[in-house]
Amino acid sequence: MIRIAIAQVRSSTEKSENLKAALFLTQEARTKGAQVIAFPEFLMAFTPASQTVEELAALAESGDGLFITSLRDAAQTAGISILTTIYESSARPDRVYDTAVWIDDEGGVAAVYRKLHLYDAFGFKESDKFLAGDDIAPLVTNGNARIGMMICYDLRFPEMARMLALAGANVMLAPSGWVQGDLKVEHWQTMIKARALENGCYVIAPNQVGNIYTGHSMAVNPLGRVLTDMGEREGLEIVELDLALVDETRQKLPLLKNRRGDVYARYAATTKES
């Protein structure tokens, strides 16, 4: 069993305000008995469409900047693991990474994941401001939980969730800033349920709320049952994950074992984009 606090927040444009809120929520999560707190994408700041590439790059930090070091100190003090997100500086002055950082309960950085799939869809073009990552992150552990990380738009690519499951993930965390739009809440709910069902694992998706985002942070179990949907309220929700259910589900519905990797491999590198 693992207790995870899902933080649904409305990030402001002020980085210092968002850090202060994150530190407060981290302490609140520990007080409520959580072992992990998971924040959404864009925790560092809301960036309006009018923000320039140069302004975003100036906002970004490295992994040893104030934002991460403050959260590392908080994790160590509270004895809680933190999944946070940052705009990470890159070698290019006109691009940043959209990065998730796993901080363990001793304040160490256990894994860093840079978003693979940039949101160039529905009229947005993240690639104008962001660089894409080039690999999945190693799984992190918390007790019996083996946790894989994705970010937002990654949820629309089942290959990524499957790779994490094949690597041994029984929990997937997907910090998100899911943008509002026609049927977008339905898309969100469907994708999270699908990723959980097809991989027989828990999917936890903390989401931004307010500004241009949908809210509805969710936790879904391996059978597709919704454990929580936070609607449009800010705050914390604690979910308890029974990890034995993952093993039971994968025994009864052995999708990972029943795969035909021998066939898929023949097409993976040759299928043309439409």
pLDDT of residue 26: 98
What is the distance between the alpha carbons of residues 173 and 122, in angstroms, rounded to a whole number? Answer: 24
Structure tokens at 210: 């307010």
Q: Give the 3-state DSSP-derived string for 62-118, with helices as H, strands as E and coil as C.
A: CCCCHHHHHHHHHHHHHCCEEEEEEEEECCCCCCEEEEEEEECCCCCEEEEEECCCC
Beta bridge partners of 8: 235
- Backbone phi and psi for residue 194, each to the nearest 5 degrees, phi listed first: -65, -45
- Backbone phi and psi for residue 107, each to the nearest 5 degrees, phi listed first: 90, 10
- Strand pairing category for 140-142 and 145-149: antiparallel
Cβ atoms of 175 and 100 closer than 8 Å: yes
Catalytic residue, from 15, 41, 88, 129: name it: 41
- Backbone phi and psi for residue 260, each to the nearest 5 degrees, phi listed first: -115, 70
Helices (H) and strands (E) in the chain, counts: 7, 15
Q: Could you tell me what percent of the chain has a pLDDT over 70?
A: 98
Structure tokens at 142: 């918390």
Give tens-digit pLDDT for 57-92: 999 999 999 999 999 999 999 999 999 999 999 999
Catalytic residue, from 15, 88, 129, 152: name it: 152
Catalytic-residue membership of 201: no
End-to-end CA gap in the chain: 43
Burial class (CB within 10 angstroms; exposed 0-12, middle 13-18, buried 19+) of 68: buried
Burial class (CB within 10 angstroms; exposed 0-12, middle 13-18, buried 19+) of 176: buried
Average pLDDT, the chain: 96
What is the distance between the alpha carbons of residues 253 and 234, in angstroms, rounded to a whole number? Answer: 36
- Report how far apart, in Å, the C-alpha atoms of 190 and of each of 102, 147, 218 are: 26, 21, 11
pLDDT grade for 269, boundaries at 50, 70 and 90: confident
Q: What is the DSSP letter of 155?
A: G
Catalytic residue, from 15, 61, 115, 129: name it: 115
Going from the N-terminus, what domains does the chain have, and what CATH number goes with each? 2-267 (3.60.110.10)
Catalytic-residue membership of 20: no
Place of tokens 């339905």: 186
Of 203, 172, 195, which is closest to residue 255 (Cα–Cα)? 195
Give tens-digit pLDDT for 160-169: 999 999 999 9
pLDDT of residue 268: 80
Compute the CA torsion angle 235, 108, 59, 54 (nearest 10 deg).
Answer: -130
What is the distance between the alpha carbons of residues 197 and 101, in angstroms, rounded to a whole number? Answer: 26
pTM of the model: 0.95
Give tens-digit pLDDT for 13-55: 999 999 999 999 999 999 999 999 999 999 999 999 899 999 9
Structure tokens at 234: 């800010």
Of 52, 144, 140, which is closest to residue 96 (Cα–Cα)? 52
What is the distance between the alpha carbons of residues 234 and 6, in angstroms, rounded to a whole number? Answer: 10
